[in-house]
Structure 1
Amino acid sequence: MAKGSGLGVRGWLLLGLTTVVVLAATGVWNPFPTMWDWVNRRQPISEPDVTWQQRIGGTPRSVTIAGDALVIEQRTRVEARSLATGSQLWERKADWSAVAGAGPDAVVAVGRLLVKGYEVLDPTTGVTRRRDGDAVAVWTYRNLLLDAHCVAATDCTLSAWDPRGTAPLWTAFLPGVSTGLLADNPNLLDTRRFTTNRIDDGVAGPEAVPPLLGFPVDGRVHVVDTATGRVLQNVEPDRDERLAVIGGRLLRITARSQDGNCYFAISGRDSATGQEAWQQSGINLRTADSAGCVQREDPYGARNVLVGVSPDGREAVLDGYDGRLLLVTANSERVLAVDDRYAVVRTADGGGVSARELGPGQVRWNRPTGEKAGAALTPYAAIVADQKPNRLVALDPRTGRELAVLRTSANALAVGPAGMVIGEGREIGYLRFGATGGNPSGDGNGSDGGDPGAGSDPRPQHTCGAKNESCATPDPGK
Structure 2
Amino acid sequence: MAKVGGLRLRGWLLLALVTVVVLAAAGVWNPWPGVWDWVDRSEPISEPDVVWQQRIGGTPKSVTIAGGAVVVVEQRTRVEARSLATGVQLWERKADWSAVAGGDRDPVVAVGKLLVKGYELLDPTTGATRRRDDDAVAVWTYRNLLLDARCTEATDCTLSAWDPRGTAPLWTAFLPGVSTGLFADNPDLLGTRRLSTTRVDDGVAGPEAVPPLLGFPVDGRVHVVDTATGRVLQDVEPGRDERLAVVGGRMLRIRAVSQDGACAFTLTAHDPTTGREVWRRTGINLRTADSAGCAQREDPQGARNVLIGVAPNGREAVIDGYDGRMLQVNGEGEKLIAVDDRYALVRTADKRSIVARELGADRTRWTRAAGGRSGGTLTPYAAVLAEEKPNRLIALDPRTGKELLVLRTSANALAIGPAGMVIGEGREIGYVRFGAGGTAPARPSGDGGVPGPGDPGPGDPGGGTDGGPGDDGGCGPKRELCPEQDDKDG
Question: Shared fold by TM > 0.5?
Answer: yes
State the one-letter code of the partner of 1:40: D
Q: TM-score, normalised by structure 1?
A: 0.89
Residues 46-445 of structure 1: matches in 2 within 5 Å? 46-67=46-67, 68-178=69-179, 180=181, 182-434=183-435, 440=437
Return the match for 2:441 from 445, 455, 458: 458
CA distance change for structure 1 residues 245 and 181 in 2, over 3 Å: closer, same or farther? closer
Question: What displacement does 1:290 show?
Answer: 1.2
Contact 2:182 2:188 survives alignment (8 Å): no
Contact 2:317 2:326 survives alignment (8 Å): yes
Aligned to 1:37: 37
Contact 2:419 2:440 survives alignment (8 Å): no
Aligned to 1:449: none
- 1:254-305 Cα offsets, whole Å, 9 max, x none, are 1110111110110010010111000011110000011401000000000000
Question: What displacement does 1:49 show?
Answer: 0.5
Aligned to 2:469: none
Residues 19-30 of structure 1: matches in 2 within 5 Å? 20-27=13-20
Contact 1:179 1:186 survives alignment (8 Å): no
- 1:296-344 Cα offsets, whole Å, 9 max, x none, are 0000000000001111111000000000000000111111111000011
Residues in 1 aligned to 2:132 and 2:31: alpha-carbon distance in whole angstroms: 49
- 1:392-449 Cα offsets, whole Å, 9 max, x none, are 00000000000000000000000101111100111111111116xxxx5x7xxxxxxx
State the one-letter code of the partner of 2:381: Y
Aligned length: 445
Question: What displacement does 1:142 show?
Answer: 0.4
Contact 1:396 1:402 survives alignment (8 Å): yes
State the one-letter code of the partner of 1:430: Y
State the one-letter code of the partner of 1:25: V
CA distance change for structure 1 residues 273 and 21 in 2, over 3 Å: closer, same or farther? farther
- 1:194-215 Cα offsets, whole Å, 9 max, x none, are 1111000100110100000000
| Stretch of structure 1 that moved more, 326-335 or 17-26 | 17-26
Residues in 2 aligned to 1:313 and 1:218: alpha-carbon distance in whole angstroms: 36
Contact 2:262 2:292 survives alignment (8 Å): no
The alignment's C-alpha RMSD in Å is 2.3
Between the aligned residues of both structures, percent identity stands at 71
Contact 1:145 1:161 survives alignment (8 Å): yes
Residues in 1 aligned to 2:104 and 2:32: alpha-carbon distance in whole angstroms: 43
Partner-residue secondary structure (3-state), 1:81:
strand
Partner-residue secondary structure (3-state), 1:164:
coil
Partner-residue secondary structure (3-state), 2:80:
strand
Residues in 2 aligned to 1:316 and 1:17: alpha-carbon distance in whole angstroms: 78
Residues in 2 aligned to 1:270 and 1:413: alpha-carbon distance in whole angstroms: 37
Aligned to 2:473: none
CA distance change for structure 1 residues 169 and 31 in 2, over 3 Å: closer, same or farther? closer
Residues in 2 aligned to 1:16 and 1:285: alpha-carbon distance in whole angstroms: 79
Partner-residue secondary structure (3-state), 1:103:
coil
Partner-residue secondary structure (3-state), 1:26:
helix
- 1:10-54 Cα offsets, whole Å, 9 max, x none, are xx9x99888645422223999865653332112110000011111
Residues in 2 aligned to 1:72 and 1:359: alpha-carbon distance in whole angstroms: 37
Partner-residue secondary structure (3-state), 2:216:
strand
Question: What displacement does 1:459 show?
Answer: 1.8
Partner-residue secondary structure (3-state), 1:36:
helix
Aligned to 2:488: none
Partner-residue secondary structure (3-state), 1:186:
coil
Question: What displacement does 1:181 show?
Answer: 6.7
Q: Which runs of 5+ in 1 are unaligned?
A: 1-5, 443-455, 474-478
Partner-residue secondary structure (3-state), 2:38:
helix
Partner-residue secondary structure (3-state), 2:177:
coil
Question: What displacement does 1:182 show?
Answer: 2.4
Residues in 2 aligned to 1:275 and 1:31: alpha-carbon distance in whole angstroms: 74
Contact 1:119 1:131 survives alignment (8 Å): yes
| Stretch of structure 1 that moved more, 27-36 or 422-431 | 27-36
Contact 1:178 1:186 survives alignment (8 Å): no
Partner-residue secondary structure (3-state), 2:225:
strand
CA distance change for structure 1 residues 32 and 285 in 2, over 3 Å: closer, same or farther? same
Residues in 1 aligned to 2:108 and 2:48: alpha-carbon distance in whole angstroms: 32
Question: What displacement does 1:57 show?
Answer: 1.1
Residues in 2 aligned to 1:293 and 1:336: alpha-carbon distance in whole angstroms: 25
Residues in 2 aligned to 1:240 and 1:396: alpha-carbon distance in whole angstroms: 42
